[in-house]
Chains A and B, each alone.
Chain A
Amino acid sequence: MEVSEKIRAFIKTNIEVIDYERDFTDEEDIFELGFVDSLFAMKLLNFVENEFNIEVVPEDMDITNFNSVNNIIEFLERKANHSG
């Protein structure tokens, strides 16, 4: 499964948990769309760490790294480039 598909699948699972049905693009800010709760941010962070085997350090804890599918992908690529 492509990285973007994994991320989208995770987000959709959490949207279903709180009973919202809404599609979204890879560019859209998932937090501003109003269908995730505040703790989703931490769930997303845990998912990114576990699924892609990275460590999110304090300097990474910027919401703009995680607020859209594309931003998450770019963040993962930057992490990979720094560790490579």
Chain B
Amino acid sequence: MYTTKIWTNKNSKNFDWEAYFSPENTDKIFKKMDLVKLISQLRNHLKEDKFKMTFVLGSVLRSILKDLSLKKNSRTLELGAATGLLTRWLISQYGGTGVLVDNSKASYRAYTSLKNPLKKYITYLNKNIFSLQLDETFDIVCSFGLVEHFIDKKEVLDVHRRFLAPDGIILLLVPLDTPLTRVFWELHPELNRGYRELLTETEFYKILTRNGLKVIRTQPVFGYSYDFIGALCRKK
């Protein structure tokens, strides 16, 4: 149970409800607010949590991949992978192997510091996805929190398609444009670096279909500190 902190008279029988709802009282309350403390509390309520993220991610991926028979020992490519949470989840559930691509040295360092037995099934390429040269295609090409950083959606989605096997699937997860998501990024400027678009489900669907992808399924995700949406696609 959580109790919201409301200024109130200690003796609730004598509490002046008329004054409580008056515009003058509202104004007084706002003027007394400790905004620094408020921001700190809000940031604490809406913070990144890797365990909660794994549950939420698991929930959306299970919904998106429901009734889909993934190829045994699937080969996964994750673009803009950071620590490759998406690929590690897929391997932990379905087996197979993966390639992670991210040009950030910090991401690579974070990945190398992970103690995770699945790493023996994964290759990490510290490279730019737009200059990526690989001699293979993949059963699954995926990204989590990548597409929204690019104005040119065609360019970034083309990279996904380029390395996809003819019968492969593309999994995409991006933040969903909701009030909660907007508030999250306002509260965390230290995380909100670079260009980022928040898309509604309709906007996301249109972008995918206009850029050579057939959308099999989308699934909005709620319950985390921000909302996001997952899409399962194939090449058109």
Contacts and interface: CB of A to CB of B under 8 A. Distances in A.
Contact of A61 (B55, B88, B92, B114): B55
A75 interface: no
Interface residues of A, number: 18
B236 interface: no
Interface in A1-35: 17-19, 31
Nearest to B56: A61
Contacts, number: 48
Interface stretch (B115-123, B165-173, B188-196, B209-217): B115-123
A41 interface: yes
A20 B43 CA distance: 31
Given A38-B50, A42-B92, A63 B117 contact: no
Interface in B55-84: 55-56, 58-59, 62-63
B55 A63 contact: yes
- Which size class do B's interface residues fall under? 20 to 34
Contacts of B39: none
A63 B93 contact: no
Nearest to A45: B58
Nearest to B62: A58
11 contacts: A19-B115, A38-B85, A39-B89, A39-B118, A41-B51, A42-B54, A58-B59, A58-B63, A61-B55, A62-B223, A67-B51
A-B residue pairs, 10 tightest by C-beta: A61-B59, A41-B54, A31-B51, A38-B50, A38-B54, A58-B59, A63-B55, A63-B52, A61-B55, A18-B115
